[in-house]
Structure 1
Amino acid sequence: MSQTTVAALTGEAGDQSGSPAGNTPAGGRRARRRGHERGRPLWMLLPGGILMLLIIVVPLLVAVLMSTLDLDQYTLQSWLQAPFIGLQNYVEAVTSSSLLRSVGISVSFALIAAVVTMPIGLAAALATQNRFRGRALVRSLFLIPYVLPAFVVGTLWRTMLQPGGVVDSTLGALGAHPGLWLNGPLSYWSLIIVQIWTSWPFFYLLVLAGLQGVDHEVHEAAAIDGATWWIKLRYVILPYLRGPILLALIIAFLHNINAFTLPFVLFGVPAPADVDVLPVLTYVTSFQSFRFGLSAAMAICSLILIAIPLFVYLRAVKLDSGEEEKR
């Protein structure tokens, strides 16, 4: 028997005896290659991580630092040498300013607008789900309020709601004279109405996308069983749309809380007390009162307010994913 044959048989015996493949040069190369491939995704995340650090983390740390300084128009030029006052800006924001009132206005306005737009968007999506003549045109018209810039929407509605405008003339012809829309208690409901008009197509888009995921066989089974449209909507369609609707509610709520351009253009500054939302209050405190440290503290409070519903949503999604994996 040749030495080559003996070596081959010896190698097979060594492999069958359970010796690790990593002991051979080829096995070592394969192990190093697998380790390199496992580490490769981390290198791919590095550019995005650096960008996130520069765009999000660094400005956030600067805002936190500014909120602990007595920063105004006199100390802004050398803001790093501004007096350090710790949490005094936060205490003043909560106790002496109108921050808590603005938080209440922003939360209630955002919640009402998001909840009201949900059934409107759902109804519009259900109405345009099936094919009919002119469906593409109707879908395009539905998107007009959403694609218009907020500055244009605010200017348009400010013109319509001013005294003697289109709204007052129309209501006057019907015998109704509600009063001023852009000042006083009605300004709050004017802001909600305009926000609903401009944001309901967002719900429409998300619900329409969710309807595409409903299995066609489920519709056929419901039709064979003789289900009415209400039973079909409640027990067939809405369970499929729970995720898109919840996501739309969270995004709309966060977007409404952060709304600045629409109330700024619609009411101007200083805004009426009934529509003094948190972004407008922060802007006025910073660029009209020149209390930059106090406005930074308000901005941090706004960030905390936004993080609460976002954390609740992410927690709910995580729990749902865990339940599905267990099943």
Structure 2
Amino acid sequence: MSNSTLTPPSVAGVQSRPSAGTTPAGGRPARRRRRGERNRPLWMLLPGGILMLVIIVVPLIVAVVMSTLDLDQYTLQSWLQAPFLGLGNYVEAVVSSPLLRSIGISVSFAAIAAVVTMPIGLAAALATQNRFRGRALVRSLFLIPYVLPAFVVGTLWRTMLQPGGVVDSMLGAVGVHTGLWLNGPLSYWSLIIVQIWTSWPFFYLLVLAGLQSVDHEVHEAAAIDGATWWIKLRYVVLPYLRGPIFLALIIAFLHNINAFTLPFVLFGVPAPQDVDVLPVLTYVTSFQSFRFGLSAAMAICSLVLIAIPLFVYLRAVKLDSGEEEQR
């Protein structure tokens, strides 16, 4: 075979590669196709972006506009023509309304309930981590307080905490006599106790999921070294659970601040002063006092209050990821 009939591989590759801007036999130009593939992820985000715009952004803008207007039962029908107050509602909320007291009650209640539920959930997760007979049943029973609707939990505990109810009867049997659980100073602690009872399984679930990430070889190495259960918990297990515990604390704190159904059903409205949490105060201001502009300003203040711990968590996650990348 003569050399003239042979085509070098490099020449063949150049000849077979389509030039830029040419149209292949089966479709559109290669450059246009590559540009469309590059922009495809943006189109995939469009449904979620529209949903976020309709559900979050638009109601937030409406709430901000309402908080600057003098809206009540008389001006609500034509609320766009209501008198403009600017920051007047915010000033009234801080100076004249019980907003600051409600913020203090909400923050303290949310923090205490979140901190107390953490060791309970951690102990329950550690107790059900290893296999034993009936573990599936125990895990299912642990989830009952969490899966019950807040309305059912509030009704159940309202019945139990009534004067002469189950709680008073049990405490009276051991010689402990208390005052009213649903009114007065004890109502604050009643709300904390009920919130702890209904929310500790959330910590249990997150900690139990975090325990699955602990390497089994680390447990074996600690057992070979003769580590006690406390040393093993402190230096082996807890370092792995730092992220899930911190996340659970933030989420539980935000959930407790936003709790409305439980205090609403447990104490009714108007609620006692000691449990006048921020969501209930906003509801009463809006749908009983009919001060819709003032309640919108309270809702915006609540949003700012919630954004603070959320920003702290996101900042901490960003710093942790940056440290891991540097390592």
Matched residue of 1:214: which SS? coil
Residues 155-234 of structure 1: pairs in structure 2 closer than 5 A = 155-234=155-234
- CA shift in 2, pair 1:26/1:319, >3 Å: farther
- CA shift in 2, pair 1:5/1:204, >3 Å: same
CA positional deviation for 1:325: 0.8
Preserved contact between residue 103 and residue 277 of structure 1 (Cα < 8 Å): yes
Q: Which amino acid aligns with 1:32?
A: R
Number of the residue aligned with 1:279: 279
Distance in 2 between residues matched to 1:291 and 1:177, nearest whole Å: 41
CA positional deviation for 1:36: 1.6
Distance in 2 between residues matched to 1:318 and 1:4, nearest whole Å: 63
Please say if 1:70 is aligned against 2:67: no
- CA shift in 2, pair 1:173/1:21, >3 Å: same
CA positional deviation for 1:11: 7.2
CA positional deviation for 1:9: 6.6
Please say if 1:25 is aligned against 2:22: yes
Number of matched pairs: 323
Distance in 2 between residues matched to 1:9 and 1:136, nearest whole Å: 66
- CA shift in 2, pair 1:228/1:21, >3 Å: farther
Q: With structure 1 as the length reference, what TM-score do the two structures score?
A: 0.94
- CA shift in 2, pair 1:153/1:189, >3 Å: same
CA offsets 1:238-289 (integer angstroms, 9 cap, x no match): 0101111011001000000000000000000000000000000000000000
Q: Which segments of 5 or more consecutive residues in structure 1 lack a partner in the other structure?
A: none
Distance in 1 between residues matched to 2:134 and 2:11, nearest whole Å: 78
Residues 140-155 of structure 1: pairs in structure 2 closer than 5 A = 140-155=140-155
- CA shift in 2, pair 1:4/1:287, >3 Å: farther
Q: Which amino acid aligns with 2:196?
A: I
Matched residue of 2:176: which SS? coil
- CA shift in 2, pair 1:291/1:14, >3 Å: same
CA positional deviation for 1:33: 2.7
CA offsets 1:91-119 (integer angstroms, 9 cap, x no match): 00000000000000000000000000000
Preserved contact between residue 260 and residue 279 of structure 2 (Cα < 8 Å): yes
CA offsets 1:6-51 (integer angstroms, 9 cap, x no match): 8987677899xxxx99747379944433322110000000011011
Distance in 2 between residues matched to 1:212 and 1:263, nearest whole Å: 35
Identity of aligned residues (%): 85
- CA shift in 2, pair 1:205/1:12, >3 Å: closer
Number of the residue aligned with 2:60: 60
Q: Which segments of 5 or more consecutive residues in structure 2 lack a partner in the other structure?
A: none
Preserved contact between residue 67 and residue 89 of structure 2 (Cα < 8 Å): yes
Residues 1-327 of structure 1: pairs in structure 2 closer than 5 A = 23=20, 25=22, 29-327=29-327
